[in-house]
Chain A
Amino acid sequence: MHRYRIWAAVAFALLALALPFIFNSPYYQHMLILILIWAALGTAWNLLGGYCGQVSFGHAAFFGLGAYSAGLLYLHLGASPWWGLALGPVVATLVSLPIGLICFRLRGPYFALAMLALGEIFRLVFLNWISFTNGPRGILMVATRPGKIPFYYLALAILGLALWWSYLLIKSKFGYYFVSIREDQDAAEALGIPTTRYKLYALLPSAFLTGLVGAFYMNYVAFIEPNVVFSLGNVSVMIILVVILGGVATLWGPTVGAAIYIALGELFRAQLGAANVLAFGVLVCLVILFLPNGVVGEVDLFKRLLGGKRRGDVGGSLGSP
């Protein structure tokens, strides 16, 4: 890594650590935590969708599984839902294995649709299996709550894990193999890449991290129900939109996208009241039409146009973090 990048990363990390004290009110701290949640979700999705090109429209399944692992431990065993932070990602990962093995036979939009169907099946099952999950009444935690600040640091740690894990994968053989599968799956096979296996190598961390965020969410918000955590529109699709906003197949894209999503969301909500989702929808259309590679993706393009080609900085997906 170039030296200035190390300094920038350190500065950024220090800033991130200090943020909840800079923005002192619970309202802003809540916003920050939301940004961290969406950034982590987006980063996790990006591994499978952005780098490996397998666009999943059903990641809510993993989020919900993580949340419900925590919630059901509390509901049925009276256990502290913090145990869910350990169980949630494990459950999500274990479930993702057969899902991947089955669905990776499908390509492109068919895979997307299959994942969409799966997410919906999970939602409906959790909604209707009332004896096990409490159905639409959901799970409510009534423990005393620590303030926002510990949650902030926990969320920050989760995002840090997601980013670090992604970075390691992308810069390694895995990263090259993921991108080659995305670019041309047949060529990848002909180069000796066992594509299904490597798609799984992208799916497993993706599911793990998404489940982890789900378990965190249960602990933070203290109430979950299937239509919220397994939601197609509000979770699965929103994760994708956040990543698109920020930049598919870039390391920081999802974080930037999350920040824009939450900040703009609040701005729209304050200015436009009930029409804020509409404004977001319009924004999404505009970004897809005019900034198809997201904010971070287009920044790369911009830098390249200005600065000419630098060694290893060309090509977008692997050259720049």
Chain B
Amino acid sequence: MTSVAVLEVRKIVKRFGGLVAVDNLSFAVREGEIFGLIGPNGSGKTTVFNLINRFFPLTSGTIHFGDRRIDVLSPHQICALGIARAFQVVKPLRRMTVLENVMTGAFLRTRNVRRARQKALEVLDFCKLMHRKDFPAGKLTIADRKRLEIARALATEPRLLLLDETAAGLNPRETEEAIDIIRQIRELGVTIIVVEHVMKVITGICDRVMAINFGREITTGPPAAVVNHPEVIKAYLGEADA
């Protein structure tokens, strides 16, 4: 398998008024890899996702998915092309059941209710949420809600999955389960970009990691190298010897 670039981000800039949230960022994500994005709070990670997804328009730069330019499309078109997203602040469709939530994702690829239900049940089984399928989504625990985010995104049959801090707020066992699921998703052939603070996830499953701060790239490389990079450590902790 050649390393085809599934997603290519070229020199993107995002300004909110006077604030530069993303500053000339470029990176490419290869097919089948798990790409990590780390940085301290406010470094622009979620903004990057919002730009890929086009919840915000770019100030400048371009984003390419395969050979298509996507920074000019609307969020739903981007999802239809094959980029799905699990949000950092989870957005369950609260008054629908877990099954109905995932079916809503599945409907992207079919209009038949029975087939959507079938697909949703498969995804729920895969994400180990079957036991909650008739629960109203608003009544789930935070761990289950995060898993629902992933399941719902998976039901849209994405080629690229954006996971935004899906391990945040989980206990060690839940984190292990989350890592497992992400690995299994990759085995399905889905490319994944992971934004995380939990380093165990980053070092555990990412093939490559990019660290950013103030919207700018610090360094990119294998997880161990990036996580131990002095600039990265400084960004997280401030000046090492204060």
**Chain A interfacial positions (CB closer than 8 Å to B):** 171-173, 176-177, 179-180, 183-184, 186-195, 309, 311-312, 314-319
Contacts and interface: CB of A to CB of B under 8 A. Distances in A.
Given A190-B84, A190-B85, A311-B134, A177 B95 contact: no
Contacts of B74: 189, 194
Interface string B160-197: 00000000000000000000000000000000000000
B92 to A, nearest CB: 8
A260 B100 CA distance: 32
A48 to B, nearest CB: 17
B134 A314 contact: yes
B95 A173 contact: no
Given A176-B100, A176-B103, A314-B134, A190 B116 contact: no
Nearest to A312: B134
A195 B87 CA distance: 18
17 contacts: A171-B113, A173-B107, A173-B113, A179-B93, A179-B95, A180-B96, A180-B104, A184-B91, A187-B92, A190-B53, A190-B84, A190-B91, A191-B153, A192-B105, A315-B97, A316-B95, A319-B97
Closest 4 CB pairs of A and B: A192-B79, A187-B91, A183-B93, A192-B108
Nearest to A309: B134
Given A190-B87, A194-B76, A172 B113 contact: yes
A191 B105 contact: yes
B134 A187 contact: no
Nearest to A198: B76
B80 interface: yes
B156 interface: yes
B94 interface: yes
B76 A317 contact: no
Contacts of B126: none
Contacts of A317: 95-96
Nearest to A316: B95
Interface string B77-118: 101100011010001111111001001110110010100100
A173 to B, nearest CB: 5
B236 interface: no
A177 B96 CA distance: 11
Nearest to B162: A190
Nearest to A317: B95
A315 B85 CA distance: 24
A316 B113 CA distance: 18
Contact of B100 (A172, A191, A315): A315
B152 interface: yes
Nearest to B109: A192
B32 interface: no
Interface string B126-141: 0000000011100000
Nearest to A184: B91
Given A190-B53, A191-B79, A192-B76, A177 B104 contact: yes
A318 B96 contact: yes
